[in-house]
């Protein structure tokens, strides 16, 4: 168990370091709001789509392809999204409902989920996690685009406008562009892959520094109640329901553990980038990311311990 704690800390510590670096750089005056706006736009429109594109292209879609597991994940994600959205309608001001919902269901699977799945189950965890990751990206970005468009004062919320916002979302375009290449294993020039990788590697440092630069004690205090509620939904209640549902569905051992890790991952940095792209309450999004990332060290390890104790994994 101590080894799993160390693995979780090893994965989340770099995230914290980049967040705190963003706080420090903003305090020192090395970055300002103009830089954060420009960098966030670059991440949303360029580097993050490139990162998602590479993740799909490099994944072997024929390996560990389990329709039942993928189908359950899609249904459970939709259920978690609807639960979070319903709670937000009941408990949140209208302007914050989209940010709350996205923060409560959208996990950081690319960093935390996949890394822990690989650490625990080796090549099998990597292959299954990578295939699941493609489904994760489409589900999360589509549902986030819908709920953010509905509550954004700057985005039209009719059915046609929402559909257009989903199809024009750079993150979804990156995924859709990669899928035929991955499926048919189409070769791409080495120079193009290497250049794209250089570009994509800027994503997480830039996004996390921007999140840190946005944080302030005043904004944290202002959004603390809503942020804590969304974080509890993300790190406790929804993983509990989704994992129990997976057990009832019949999943055991590695498959159940990997599903748990994906449902229990902290809120993704992409939620901040998308919130900023639609001029939403990005400070609330940043607070949710920080709280859930801190909580992940405790909740993920407790969850794995309980699953081992009851003999499910």
pLDDT of residue 61: 65
288 against 112, higher pLDDT: 288
Single pTM value for the model: 0.84
pLDDT of residue 31 exceeding 80, the answer is yes
Mean confidence (pLDDT) of the chain: 87
What percent of the chain is modeled with pLDDT above 90?
44
pLDDT of residue 221: 73
297 against 241, higher pLDDT: 241
Burial class (CB within 10 angstroms; exposed 0-12, middle 13-18, buried 19+) of 236: middle
pLDDT of residue 163: 78
pLDDT of residue 2: 66
pLDDT of residue 297: 83
Confidence of residue 109 (pLDDT cuts 50, 70, 90): confident
Burial class (CB within 10 angstroms; exposed 0-12, middle 13-18, buried 19+) of 281: buried
Distance (Å, rounded) from C-alpha 115 to C-alpha 136?
Answer: 15
111 against 64, higher pLDDT: 111
pLDDT of residue 9 exceeding 80, the answer is no
- List domains and CATH numbers for the chain: 2-305 (1.20.1530.20)
pLDDT of residue 87: 96
Does residue 265 sit in helix, strand or coil?
Answer: coil
Query: Between the ranges 16-25, 59-68, 187-196, 210-219, where is the mean pLDDT highest?
Result: 187-196
List the Cα angle 42/43/47 in 5-degree steps.
95
């Amino acid at each position: 168990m101590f080894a799993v704690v160390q693995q979780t800390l090893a994965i989340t510590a770099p995230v914290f370091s980049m967040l705190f670096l963003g706080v420090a750089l903003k305090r020192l005056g090395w970055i300002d709001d103009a830089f954060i706006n420009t960098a966030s736009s670059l991440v949303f429109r360029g580097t993050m789509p490139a990162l998602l594109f590479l993740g799909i292209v490099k994944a072997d879609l024929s390996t560990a392809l389990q329709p039942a597991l993928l189908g359950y994940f899609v249904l459970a994600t939709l259920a978690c999204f609807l639960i979070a959205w319903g709670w937000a309608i009941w408990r949140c001001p209208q302007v914050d409902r989209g940010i709350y919902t996205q923060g409560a269901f959208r996990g950081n699977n690319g960093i935390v989920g996949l890394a822990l799945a690989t650490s625990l189950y080796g090549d099998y965890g990597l292959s299954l996690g990578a295939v699941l990751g493609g489904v994760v990206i489409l589900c999360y970005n589509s549902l986030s685009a819908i709920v953010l468009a509905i509550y954004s004062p700057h985005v039209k919320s009719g059915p046609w406008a929402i559909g257009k916002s989903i199809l024009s979302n750079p993150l979804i375009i990156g995924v859709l562009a990669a899928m035929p290449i991955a499926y048919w294993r189409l070769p791409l020039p080495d120079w193009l892959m290497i250049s794209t990788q250089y570009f994509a590697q800027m994503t997480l440092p830039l996004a996390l520094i921007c999140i840190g630069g946005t944080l302030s004690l005043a904004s944290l205090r202002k959004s603390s109640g809503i942020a804590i509620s969304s974080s509890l939904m993300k790190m406790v209640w929804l993983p509990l329901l989704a994992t129990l549902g997976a057990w009832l569905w019949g999943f055991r051992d590695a498959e159940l553990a990997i599903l748990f890790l994906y449902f229990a991952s902290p809120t993704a940095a992409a939620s901040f980038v998308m919130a900023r792209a639609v001029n939403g309450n990005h400070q609330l999004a940043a607070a949710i990311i920080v709280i859930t990332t801190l909580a992940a060290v405790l909740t993920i390890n407790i969850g794995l311990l309980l699953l081992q104790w009851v003999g499910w994994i």
